[in-house]
Amino acid sequence: NAGVMQNPRHLVRRRGQEARLRCSPMKGHSHVYWYRQLPEEGLKFMVYLQKENIIDESGMPKERFSAEFPKEGPSILRIQQVVRGDSAAYFCASSPPGAWTNSYNEQFFGPGTRLTVL
């Protein structure tokens, strides 16, 4: 059972360009979370999604950031018109459905995408 997969692992963008980060959850997991780790800071929650639904986006910046988790395919975190302050590591995590026994909301993390904005 493959773990959480993220791509690309490293992404370089110039100011004003768009960044698209992809996350494939573990097999059978229906919950996806995105977290951001700014340089020298801890991980901060951004958004929580289930298939075709955004459940909690309270940690997402109001402008330029969006996320989706379509019925088919990976979850996408999209950053429009990137600025230097967006440079960070973006981590995706997944957890099993709540109906699974012994799941306890344990979250499993991907390797992250390191975004550098020039």
Chain contacts with another protein (rule: CB under 8 A): 31, 33, 35, 41-45, 48, 50, 55-56, 59, 91, 93, 95, 97-98, 103-112, 114
How far apart are CB 64 and another protein at their closest, in Å? 21
Residue placing its CB nearer to another protein in the complex, 80 or 100: 100
Asked, as a colleague might, if the bond just before 97 is cis with ω within 30 of 0, I would say no
SS3 15: coil
Residue placing its CB nearer to another protein in the complex, 55 or 118: 55
Question: How many whole angstroms separate alpha carbon 102 and alpha carbon 111?
Answer: 24
- Exposure string of 28-55, with b = 16+ CB inside 10 Å and e = fewer, is ebbbbbbbbeeeeeeeeebbbbeeeeee
How far apart are CB 16 and another protein at their closest, in Å? 27
Question: How many whole angstroms separate alpha carbon 112 and alpha carbon 7?
Answer: 8
Question: How many whole angstroms separate alpha carbon 3 and alpha carbon 24?
Answer: 9
How far apart are CB 69 and another protein at their closest, in Å? 12
Residue placing its CB nearer to another protein in the complex, 42 or 85: 42
How far apart are CB 89 and another protein at their closest, in Å? 8
Residue placing its CB nearer to another protein in the complex, 63 or 102: 102
